[in-house]
Structure 1
Amino acid sequence: MFAYPKRALRINSRLYASASALNPLTSPAPSAFRIFDRHAKLLQKNRAAALNGGEISRQVDYVRDEVANRMIERFMDIKRQFVSLLDLGSGSGHFSKLLPSTSASKVTMLDLSDVALHRDPPSDFEVEVIRKQVDEERLLETIDRNSQDVVVSCLCLHWVNDLPGVLIQIREVLRPDGVFIAAMFGGDTLFELRTSLQLAELEREGGISPRVSPMTDTRDVSNLMGRAGFTLLTVDIDEIQVTYPTIWELVEDLRNMGESNAIQDRRHIIRRDTLLAASSIYSALHANEDGTVPATFEVIYMIGWKPSPDQPKPLQRGSGQKNLKDVL
């Protein structure tokens, strides 16, 4: 249990999947449609990072900071010295702040929001960082192919329109045998809020509009990574549950995190009576015994390697020397 002002956070981990590469694609294809309004997302992130000189957004860093701590454990398990590390969608540097000075010679932070990138001073980092404002969907326009030893991404990929294309670009900028380590929100994230808003809109307005962004299903992540050309894949899941006094504190924190709705065809206004109904439904369906309400963040962690002739290869089928029945 992790305590935060007015909130409590609980984490449950479980291993989800491990897979090998499938039919890698050779180049990113342009997105055929746009789910998210990237300009709106930029404005949301800028606003959140600028509030009260960044103090408001620092108060709601608890989810990203916890996920970054989980990611750094995975990163430190890789016993290798790296020259260059790319922190994609870094925000204010939740992951890069945890890097020891010996982890990489060069760390580059990229983010859509220049305000978020420069929210915190260099003294918060042990490593020397270069900060660049870059749209995560246009990675190859800024970063050279085969130039990075490591690419990490902490909770930004759920806002890109073409996730397969971005994964391919990430593979392209990695050197052979380079590693990609990422965390992104999964499909069950904020299911309590989603269902409450949907039921409230059905009751008060007679229809449903998208209020919580669609997210990748955990079952698809291994396939997406394999199709993008990564090998030696590992995917696992954490569920982070934060307890709030009411739905209003949850919505306020999401706004201050820069995680407000940015769906392209979203409705910009939600009626107050619909919100009041959603609050009542949320409490009726999900409230704890003490009257507080939980919010679940499903986090998918993934690790993949760019192919290299030096990597371990699976043995050919039928080459085993022992029967599995004898081992069990």
Structure 2
Amino acid sequence: MQNVPLLTDRSALIRNRHRANDGFLRDIARDELLDRLSLVNREFKSSLIIGPAPQIIPNAKQIEDSETLDVTTNSHDLAIHFMALHWANDPVGQIIQSARALQPDGLFQAVCLGGQTLNELRICLAQAESEVTGGLSPRIAPMGEIRDLGALLQRAGLALPVADNITVRTSYKDAFHLMHDLRNFGETNALNARLRHPTKRAIFDRCAEIYAKTFAEDGKIIATFEFLFLSGWAPSADQPKPLRPGSATSRLADALKTTEKPLRD
């Protein structure tokens, strides 16, 4: 069986993260995740945080999002995979390993960047490189869509799966200021198939021109960041179970106190 090509060059990813000095994206992810966690009526006593996270929860164990997670089976009641799944070579494997670390009825939560992230920059870079060189190079990670990542929760055997998202639109003076911030966020190109030599300046100049003409508002360019949030529970015998289709004992119309009208043929 052939080996599947790796999406991410992990050494480059770690290097990018180490030189990051701006927590803008992580702060949004942290605040939104904690807001969702506050809605859970549960006190967690043995939390695990996976990935490049700030101190989200006091006294939580924090580990790297390495290919093989440093976890012990059945040892945590909460596992948070933080801002790392969009760089994972095996995202379902990451979720499965996280789920195995959970005690029965333990909660898994994840936040990562989604497929709409940097769609403007992706379009402009592709057009610019095609015009200047006649080809295309991998430059922005192919981040997952909410439906696809939500399905991974079920593949990992988690119960009561939920996936939702938020979209944040930011503005910059130009494409160069955006790319400078991406470096500060630790989110620059770490693709395994990326070019290993410097990109021609003409490509970035042309990208900035296209960006300013195509995705500008009030004299500034717009950049989109989509955050995906995943949630699921480790199976447990005392969890609520969805009802079998057709097993309802009362009519919806009766519950709503309205008159049911049949559909026309």
Q: 2:263 corresponds to which residue? A: none
The alpha carbon displacement at 1:71 in A equals: 0.5
Given the alignment of the two structures, is residue 138 of structure 1 paired with residue 100 of structure 2, yes or no?
no
Q: 2:262 corresponds to which residue? A: none
Given the alignment of the two structures, is residue 297 of structure 1 paired with residue 225 of structure 2, yes or no?
yes
State the distance in 1 between where 2:127 and 2:5 align: 28
The residue correspondences of 1:164-313 to structure 2 (distance < 5 A) are 164-268=92-196, 269-289=198-218, 291-313=219-241
Q: Secondary structure at the match of 1:304?
A: strand
Q: Secondary structure at the match of 2:169?
A: strand
State the distance in 1 between where 2:187 and 2:41 align: 34
Comparing 312-321 with 183-192, which one deviates more in the overlay?
A: 312-321
> Counterpart amino acid of 1:226?
Q
The alpha carbon displacement at 1:325 in A equals: 4.3
8 Å Cα contact 2:167/2:225 also seen in 1 = yes
Q: Secondary structure at the match of 2:19?
A: helix
Q: TM-score, length-normalised on structure 2?
A: 0.91
> Counterpart amino acid of 1:232?
L
The alpha carbon displacement at 1:303 in A equals: 0.9
Identity among equivalent positions (%) equals 37
- Deviation by residue 1:160-186 (Cα, 9 ceiling, x = unmatched): 100111111011011110001111111
> Counterpart amino acid of 1:67?
A
The residue correspondences of 1:316-327 to structure 2 (distance < 5 A) are 316-326=244-254, 327=256
What RMSD in Å do the two structures reach over aligned CA positions?
A: 1.5
Q: Secondary structure at the match of 2:68?
A: helix
> Counterpart amino acid of 2:42?
R
State the distance in 2 between where 1:40 and 1:67 align: 22
Q: 1:108 corresponds to which residue? A: 61
- Deviation by residue 1:189-230 (Cα, 9 ceiling, x = unmatched): 000000000000111110111111111122212211111111
- Deviation by residue 1:82-108 (Cα, 9 ceiling, x = unmatched): 2210111034x15x1xx4x6xxxx411
Q: 2:27 corresponds to which residue? A: 65
- Deviation by residue 1:142-174 (Cα, 9 ceiling, x = unmatched): 211000110112211111100111111011011
- Deviation by residue 1:48-68 (Cα, 9 ceiling, x = unmatched): 3xxxxxxxx1xx212210121
Q: 2:48 corresponds to which residue? A: 86
**What stretches of structure 1 move > 2 A for 4+ residues in a row?**
323-328
Q: 2:12 corresponds to which residue? A: 40
Q: 1:76 corresponds to which residue? A: 38
Q: 1:10 corresponds to which residue? A: none
- Deviation by residue 1:20-47 (Cα, 9 ceiling, x = unmatched): xxxxxxxxxxx83311101111122123
Matched positions, count: 253
Name structure 2 gaps, 5 residues minimum. 259-265
8 Å Cα contact 2:121/2:211 also seen in 1 = yes
8 Å Cα contact 1:90/1:153 also seen in 2 = no
> Counterpart amino acid of 1:272?
R
State the distance in 1 between where 2:232 and 2:23 align: 26
> Counterpart amino acid of 1:279?
A
> Counterpart amino acid of 1:229?
G
State the distance in 2 between where 1:162 and 1:32 align: 10
> Counterpart amino acid of 1:138?
T
- Deviation by residue 1:294-316 (Cα, 9 ceiling, x = unmatched): 11001111111011001001122
State the distance in 1 between where 2:252 and 2:185 align: 50
Q: 2:261 corresponds to which residue? A: none
8 Å Cα contact 2:76/2:102 also seen in 1 = yes
State the distance in 2 between where 1:261 and 1:325 align: 54
8 Å Cα contact 1:230/1:304 also seen in 2 = yes
State the distance in 2 between where 1:45 and 1:62 align: 13
> Counterpart amino acid of 1:245?
K
Q: Secondary structure at the match of 1:78?
A: coil
State the distance in 1 between where 2:253 and 2:229 align: 33
Q: TM-score, length-normalised on structure 1?
A: 0.74
State the distance in 2 between where 1:270 and 1:325 align: 63
